[in-house]
Chains A and B, each alone.
Chain A
Amino acid sequence: MTSAVSFKQVSRHFGSVRAVDAVDLEIAPGEFFAMLGPSGSGKTTCLRLIAGFEQPTAGSISIFGERAEGVPPYRRNVNTVFQDYALFPHLNVLDNVAYGLMVKGVGKPERLKAAEEALSLVRLPGYGARRPGQLSGGQRQRVALARALVNQPKVLLLDEPLGALDLKLRENMQEELKSLQKVLGITFIFVTHDQGEALSMADRVAVFNDGRIMQVGTPEDIYQRPKTRFVADFVGSSNVLPPDFIQRYSGQHRWGSLRPESIRVSQATSGDGVAARLVGTNYLGATTRLALDADGLRLHAVVPAGTALPAEGEAVMLTFNREHLHLMDEQA
């Protein structure tokens, strides 16, 4: 099957900065794909390469089997939901949504009808006459989404689409985006620096760092089986364990990781386990996050709220199931 988007050794350099460096990537049609990484990791540049705002310095990009290098954005059947929405301030909501159809020459009654339907799809029916300036952040987000979807794109690109929304709204939009993608069957590619968002929404996630893809996989893969220290550290708050520590438990001299929820903390001072000292507690509602110091090694553990805890500074004993210990590809 042809990939929706295919990158073959794609690089984009800005002078001496390698924003994207020899990236290979295959995204399947109908997939909900997340590009995750810290700022400056190259994920947004990848998105802009697909949209056509950037051209690759080297390598080739195909969209549904067709070569895309040198093709301007307006000839790609790909639409973008911009980070700050980029709604046209001089047009009302309906004209904003109908813009793509207008420039393609669709007649006025027809395009306004399609725009009205797209607004219903994002649950903003009847908002057409308003100006973007009169809408809240969440509403602008929906308008931007409708404006992209009305063109029936082959691929929808979302650049940090939920970044500017508050927590409650963000959670709602996450669910809505997901169900919308299921209904429409369009390939969604979205960029985010929020690992929770990437894990909860995407079918597959690519983790970016320094212009390269560190790992591609299902959210579970990425979360449970990180391949490198960077992925373990960036995706969630895994404890990264040095090779010397891992060797004691597995016999292999390589980096490993352990999820904070896999660590049990007891107040025993002797017995099997890792001796540590409690250096801080962080109340998170349903859970409490503990900062621990095991002979110079900083560890985090998450325990259910309400667990009896020793006072800060006291000695504790850490135990964990060896099966939860994950060995990474990265050698010492």
Chain B
Amino acid sequence: MTIAALNSKSVPAILPGSGGLRGVLSDLFWRQPRLLLFLMLLPPLLWLGIVYIGSLIALLLQSFFSIDEFSGLINREFTLKTYGDLFQAANLDIILRTVTMAALVTLASAIIAFPIAYYAARYARGRWKALFYLGVMLPLWSSYLVKIYAWKLILAKEGILTWLFGKLGLLWLLDGWLSLPIVGGNSLSVSFTGTFIVFVYVWLPFMILPVQAALERVPGNLVEASSDLGASPGQTFHNVLFPLALPGIVAGSIFTFSLTLGDYIIPQIIGTSRLFIGQAVYSQQGTAGNIPLAAAFTVVPIVIMGFYLWGAKRMGAFDAL
């Protein structure tokens, strides 16, 4: 039985090259895949190497210079004096405040993100999944500043939150919280509580998405197997889900932690007049003109993140990858 159109007798076994530059290049890249890889990676590597890493190194070098306190001029001699300045009480305060805030924001983001990510990874299908992505991403589409000013209105003394607490008869709770030391203030918009709420709101998507991706990779039958072997839902969470989601939580916390460490706009608009690292860098390199101290402040989050990742690795956070 022969079908004329499918008869292979008239077709050569090896097809001729398509010719021209495209044909030659296609064949060349097929034979030398590394060449293609090299050509593709060259531009981004140049960008990363020169523009990004280069400027970072320039910044780091600045931190080993010092400022002449009388003339305000930069003394370009190698010294660790600027790093010593970081340990002055006022500067140490800034570092501790920022790290504590970043840690709390990360913890709260992880706690809020997990159930949302779990729902999206395990239960949401089709339309609901699309809605989930839309809900998580939508806040990222509008300007960061607009969102923060919106929050300032929400948290203000005359804002909707105070009004809502009043309607619910819970003003005593709000007032009681605001009268507490450190976390309190005249209103939420000028308290650390307000700064915390806005940080969590702004960085939450960066926690939800990696956790959701990690949970998505956990086969559903592992949860069933755990339950089958006698583990209660709580035990299954502790022994299976959490360890397997940990790389995602760590990835998310790298975002929330480092973004909080470096941000200088949110605490500027919402919060007290006490500085965070980002604000300190901003004022030192701007009005104060102390570039070496600004650079030294910049090194702090980098070092903290380094230790953080090292600790996470030792805890086995990346074992399940």
**Residues of A in contact with B (beta carbons under 8 Å apart):** 51-53, 72-74, 78-80, 82, 84, 86-90, 99-100, 102-104, 147-148, 151
Contact = CB atoms under 8 A, between A and B. Distances in A.
Given A88-B225, A90-B320, A104 B230 contact: yes
A79 B320 CA distance: 25
Contact of B229 (A53, A84, A99): A99
Interface of B: 219, 221-222, 224-232, 235, 239-240, 243-244, 319-320
10 contacts: A72-B227, A73-B227, A74-B227, A80-B224, A80-B228, A88-B225, A89-B320, A102-B239, A103-B232, A103-B235
Nearest to A84: B221
B235 A73 contact: no
A87 B225 CA distance: 8
B230 A89 contact: no
A86 B221 contact: yes
Contacts of A52: 227-228
Which of B225, B231, B232, B240 has the most chain A CB atoms inside 10 A of its CB?
B225
B227 A79 contact: no
A86 B235 contact: no
Contact of B243 (A53, A73, A90, A100): A90
A100 B230 contact: yes
The 9 closest A-B pairs by CB, nearest first: A100-B229, A86-B225, A103-B231, A86-B221, A73-B227, A90-B320, A80-B228, A103-B235, A90-B243
A90 B228 contact: no
A279 to B, nearest CB: 15
Given A74-B227, A84-B219, 12 more contacts: A51-B224, A53-B224, A53-B228, A74-B231, A80-B224, A82-B225, A86-B224, A87-B225, A90-B244, A90-B320, A100-B230, A104-B230
A217 to B, nearest CB: 29
A52 B231 CA distance: 13
A100 B235 CA distance: 11
Contacts of A84: 219, 221
Given A90-B319, A90-B320, A103 B225 contact: no
A68 B244 CA distance: 31
- Which of A82, A89, A151 has the most C-beta atoms of chain B within 10 angstroms of its own C-beta? A89
Contacts of B320: 89-90
Contacts of B235: 103
B76 to A, nearest CB: 51
Contacts of A100: 229-230
Contact of B228 (A51, A87, A102, A104): A51
Contacts of A86: 219, 221-222, 224-225
A84 B222 CA distance: 10
Nearest to A98: B229
A148 B224 CA distance: 13
Contact of A88 (B222, B227, B230, B232): B222
Given A82-B221, A90-B319, A99-B239, A73 B244 contact: no
Contacts of B226: 88, 99, 103
Contacts of A103: 226, 229-232, 235, 239
A78 B219 CA distance: 21
A97 B232 CA distance: 17
B318 to A, nearest CB: 11
A103 B231 CA distance: 6
A79 B224 CA distance: 11
B158 to A, nearest CB: 51
Contacts of B244: 89-90
Contacts of B230: 74, 100, 103-104, 151
Contacts of B243: 90
Contacts of A87: 225
Contacts of B224: 51, 53, 73, 80, 82, 86
B228 A79 contact: yes
A197 to B, nearest CB: 21
A7 B219 CA distance: 30
Given A90-B320, A99-B239, A103-B235, A151 B221 contact: no
Nearest to B229: A100
Nearest to B224: A53
A100 B222 CA distance: 13
A52 B230 CA distance: 11
Nearest to B218: A89
Nearest to A103: B231
Contacts of A80: 224-225, 228
A72 B319 CA distance: 31
A51 B222 CA distance: 14
A128 B224 CA distance: 23
Contacts of A73: 224, 227-228
Nearest to B238: A103
A170 B306 CA distance: 50
A89 B221 CA distance: 12
A72 B240 CA distance: 18
A74 B240 CA distance: 15
A48 to B, nearest CB: 9
